[in-house]
Amino acid sequence: MTTTVPPTDVGDYRRAMARFATGVTIVTTLAGEHHHAMTANALCSVSLEPLLMLVSVERDARFHDAVLESQVWGVSVLPAEARSTADWFATRGRPLHGQLDRVPHSIAPVTGVAWLDGALSNFECRTTDVHPAGDHSIVVGEVASVHVPDHLGKALIYYRGRYEALT
């Protein structure tokens, strides 16, 4: 006997995933002469040998084409006090030119992508694989360098549709 399972409600799925607390990051890339950035919480460590991580990027976002073109990207893990930064880089339609001007940042040593100053940690990656995944692409990258500052503050997390601080 075959049982028919009704389709999962998208709203239920969203509410259920909102109960999964995630860290908040800014992912950057350098395509042509322009730095691009986006807020991301779909980030994951993949492997220690080799060092790999992934980020999920919406295909409709302008960041998507930029990161696929450049093949390099950076990650800055945000501290709790960076809520406004997370909001800024999650704003659709913000200007491309100068979008990093309002945020203190430096240039990563290997790839030239931007790292946000004051981050809890920073990574720079070279893309090794891209996998289509529904309305997103999963971008896998080999970690080229890591920066772990001496300061350790509260982490910015996303939980139940809003930002929180995790000590």
Which CATH number do you get for residue 52? 2.30.110.10
pTM of this prediction?
0.93
Q: Per the domain annotation, does 14 fall within a domain?
A: no
Q: Per the domain annotation, does 145 fall within a domain?
A: yes
Q: Per the domain annotation, does 16 fall within a domain?
A: no
Q: Per the domain annotation, does 112 fall within a domain?
A: yes
Q: Per the domain annotation, does 28 fall within a domain?
A: yes
Per residue in 62-110, pLDDT (tens digit) is 999 999 999 999 999 999 999 999 999 999 999 888 999 999 999 999 9
Q: Per the domain annotation, does 51 fall within a domain?
A: yes
Q: Per the domain annotation, does 2 fall within a domain?
A: no
Residue 34, domain extent: 23-166
> What pLDDT is recorded for position 70?
97
> What pLDDT is recorded for position 87?
96
Q: What is the dihedral of CA 94, 86, 148, 151, to 10 degrees?
A: 130
- Cα 108 to Cα 64, 94, 137, 166, distances in angstroms: 20, 23, 24, 26
Instruction: Report the distance separating Cα 160 and Cα 15, nearest Å.
Output: 8
Q: Quote the number of domains for the chain.
A: 1
Q: Per the domain annotation, does 95 fall within a domain?
A: yes
What letters, b where the CB count within 10 A reaches 16 and e where it falls short, cover 68-78? bebbbbbbbbb
